[in-house]
Structure 1
Amino acid sequence: MRIWGKFFGVGIGFMFGKFAGALLGLVLGHWWDTRAGKLKAMRRHGSNRQAVFFNSTFAVMGHVAKASGRVTEDDIRLASLVMDQMRLDGQARKDAQQAFRDGKGADFDLKGCLRAFRILTLGRPELLKMFLEIQIQTALADGELHPREQQILQVIAKELGFNAAALNELLSRWQAEFRFRQGGGSAVQPIEEAYKVLGIAASSSDQDVKRAYRKLMNEHHPDKLVAKGLPPEMMELAKQTAQDVQKAYDRIKVERGMR
């Protein structure tokens, strides 16, 4: 229980207004103690949210990687690549590696992990979506989607509140993003890939193109995601996706002659 706001409020209030001032100081001090307590709880909750996002991401990555029967070199390479992109070293990298190993364990509680994660990220759909996208990348690390990996992705999507259609849309968009990224977004790539990165059809209107672009940029804006609970170490992942979206949009604008 916080009392220092009340203590100083009463003291200062009494000095300037005797008993009436002390009473006013008590009220103001109580307001300050309550506000300070809420701010501290919010900071602590935000820190917990970042820690849970960090650990859950790598634990579920390990679980998805093991889904095809064994962890392949591509799976390990992707996990290492993600850690490299996040510039993880020292204890942070060890924590990520341990979480990855925990996720591979036979006793790993996938649903329990996801439910705890969803509760802590309530009201932050962008974080849930980015989490699912990272797991999709893990499943597609070897270039194909194993049936067991797809089953686990369906469980992950359902536990996070995404339906089958939303999952399929994300799968299609990420596959296109991967191909687009591999080709550097150059003009020699089929323009259809750029449309798929934005999640729209080539027949979409210019207004639909702009709307899809703004929506994705807003969802993957690094600063906004960090403010909502994304661990700062994962900012580079959000930046990479935002860059892919920007390149796809620029390619479409050139193709259409849009301003």
Structure 2
Amino acid sequence: MIGKILGVFFGMLFGGPLGALFGLFIGHQFDKAKRINQGGFSRRGFGAGDQNARQEEFLNAAYSVMGHVAKAKGQVTREEIQLATIMMDRMNLNAEQKRSAQEAFRDGKSADFPLEKVLSRVSVSSNGRHDLLQFFLELQISAAFADGSIHPEEREVLHRIAQGLGFSAQQLEQRLRMQEAAFRFQQGGFSGGHQHGGGQHSSGGWQQANSASALSAAYDVLGVSEDADAKAIKRAHRKLMNEHHPDKLMAKGLPPEMMNVAKEKSQEIQNAYDLIKKVKGFK
């Protein structure tokens, strides 16, 4: 913004109205370049401001990297744009926050977007907290899955993101399997605790939920094998719920706007666990 103001001022001063228009253009390019070089963050940068500033920057970083993932395969799809919009609605962003998020998303699509620099600053802001960094990574995986599949170029970018956040290739691949399973679980209608479509209740819903496909997806959501015993399943469920607990994430610095997303993720994990319990017959 400061670039535009100065551009118009000096343009008007030395070139009149035409100079002001030219100055506005130059100022816009200056502001854009400055924002990209800073990874879409505010001038204060991570760790230099208060908690609210860091949370806002975490949010903008998430959207800029999301834009970078969406652009990875060359063309941003309608589904990916819809996902970004849906995420904004789920986060109840106000008009100013939406504009900032949209701008960050566009910045991420730039050919010279400094991905590694952005990820480094995300890590610094998060104080290396595993849960927050994992949440950030899972947001990007969700963006890649917006159209139901992972393009090879998207997978490559996700590996760069995982590495930049301190996750191994194996950890990323596990998260990809879990997210793909979550997508199947949602498509089956079990992510909200009931079957989508309204007409059927408990008996009909559980009949569909007992299908091999739904059960297989539930195991993958928890990251356990289908022959896992009750103890291993409970341990996996407890670990995932602890990592995705909204209140704990908030206490560690998750932006409050992301609370609903965290709640939905934890509910998804709980629904998968409930289905497995139902089928396995343990409490």
* Bin of the TM-score, shorter chain as denominator length: 0.7 to 0.9
Counterpart selection for 1:73 from 52, 65, 78: 78
Q: Does 1:166 align with 2:171?
A: yes
Runs (4+) of structure 1 exceeding 4 A deviation are 42-45
Deviation at 1:166, TM superposition (A): 0.3
1:43, distance to aligned residue in structure 2 (A): 11
Instruction: Specify which of 166, 181, 192 is matched with residue 216 of structure 2.
Output: 192
**Of 240, 243, 265, which residue of structure 2 is paired with 1:219?**
243
What residue in structure 2 maps to residue 236 of structure 1?
260
Deviations 1:74-102 (A, max 9, x none): 11011011111111231111111111011
Match of 1:48 among 42, 49, 53: 53
Give deviations 1:187-230, integer Å, cap 9, x for gaps. 32421111111010011110111111111111111111111111
Aligned partner of 1:209 among 215, 218, 233? 233
- RMSD over equivalenced CA pairs, Å: 1.5
Distance 1:91 1:67 in 2: 27
Q: Aligned letter for 1:66?
A: K
Return the alpha-carbon distance in structure 1 between the equivalents of residues 51 and 251 of structure 2: 9
Q: What one-letter code is carried by the residue in structure 2 that aligns with 1:205?
A: D
Structure 2: gaps of 5 or more residues: 1-46, 191-204
Secondary structure, aligned partner of 1:107 = coil
Structure 1 residue 182: deviation in Å? 2.1
Gaps of 5+ in 1: 1-41
Residue 114 (structure 2) aligned to one of 97, 109, 113? 109
Distance 2:50 2:95 in 1: 25
Which of 237, 246, 249 is the matching residue for 2:270?
246
Which residue matches 1:122? 127
Q: CA deviation at 1:180?
A: 0.6
Highest relative contact order (Cα 8 Å, sep 6+), 1 or 2? 1
**CA distance 1:204–1:115, shift in 2 (3 Å):** same
TM-score of the two chains, using structure 1 as the length reference: 0.81
- Matched to 1:218, the amino acid is N
Letter in 2 for 1:244: E
Q: Which amino acid aligns with 1:253?
A: K
Q: Alpha-carbon deviation of 1:44?
A: 4.6
Structure 1 counterpart of 2:15? none
Q: Which has the larger radius of gyration?
A: 1
Distance 1:113 1:123, change over 3 A: closer
CA distance, structure 1, for counterparts of residue 100 and residue 273 of structure 2: 37
1:94 and 1:238 map into 2 onto residues whose CA distance is 22
Residue of structure 2 in register with 1:152 after alignment: 157
- Letter matched to residue 176 of structure 2: L
Instruction: Give aligned-pair identity as a percent.
Output: 49
1:137 aligns with 2:142: yes
* 1:58 pairs with 2:63: yes
Q: How far 1:181 moved relative to its partner?
A: 1.7
Between 188-197 and 198-207, report the one with greater CA deviation.
Answer: 188-197
On the 8 A contact 2:119/2:165 being kept in 1, the answer is: yes
Counterpart of 2:232, as a letter, is D
Aligned pair count?
Answer: 218
Deviates more, 1:119-128 or 1:59-68: 119-128
Query: Which moved further from structure 2: 138-147 or 218-227?
Result: 138-147
Structure-2 residue corresponding to 1:89:
94
